[in-house]
Homo-oligomer: A and B are copies of this chain.
Amino acid sequence: MPSTTRERIVDAADQLIYEHGFEHTSFAQIADSVGISRGNFYHHFRTKNDILDAVIERRLDRTRDMLGAWKADNDTPLGRIRAFVHILIDNRALIERYGCPVGTLCAELGKLAHPARGRANELFVLFQRWLRRQFTELGCGDEAGPLAMHVLARSQGVSTLASTFQDEAFVRREVDDLENWLLQFSANNPVH
């Protein structure tokens, strides 16, 4: 099924915002990227904030899909957490260029005190709740929440430094370190 013009606009805006930031991305760049006239563009979106809202909703949908796929593809909670950690390897080329799409968007909207900030933060909340659920299934009880935040923080830190130092050995070392850290939970849990 060919995508609609609206979908193509949101796709292009999503990519430009990731690569160059929200503030730096203009209507004109998005329209050029899609290859449509300004008139056609304004038919779909009146303001840059309207596009941002659509981009965030699209990212929320895609994140839910990704988390669902990780769940379906991995039988154990430990395997699912490992799938999360492995984004750092799988997406390393993009992360080295542009950082984490979630972390950098939330940081920018925070500084702009942008009204869409809270909705963008929901992207982090999706990951955090999903990770918490995996740690709960691993039998971590009340520690599941703090452990989810710990894994999320470590992956964010790796993303930030990956885009500054562009040092692949560093990323692989930190991922190995996180995987070794995760093994302690498998030892405590006979299911794995």
Identify the A interface with B (CB < 8 A): 19-21, 23-24, 97-99, 103-104, 106-108, 110-112, 121, 124, 128, 146, 149-150, 152-158, 160-161, 163-165, 167, 170, 173-174, 177
Contact = CB atoms under 8 A, between A and B. Distances in A.
Contacts of A24: 23, 111-112
A164 B106 contact: yes
Contacts of A106: 160, 163-164
Nearest to A113: B20
Contacts of A107: 99, 103-104, 107, 160, 163
A153 B171 CA distance: 10
A126 to B, nearest CB: 12
A5 B44 CA distance: 47
Contact of A23 (B21, B104, B165, B170): B21
Nearest to A104: B107
Contacts of A155: 157
Contact of A157 (B98, B104, B157): B157
Contacts of A150: 174, 177
Contacts of A128: 165
A165 B163 CA distance: 23
A146 B160 contact: no
Nearest to A162: B153
Contact of A146 (B108, B110, B173): B173
A98 B20 CA distance: 19
Which of A23, A121, A124, A128 has the most B CB atoms < 10 Å from its CB?
A: A23
A174 B157 CA distance: 13
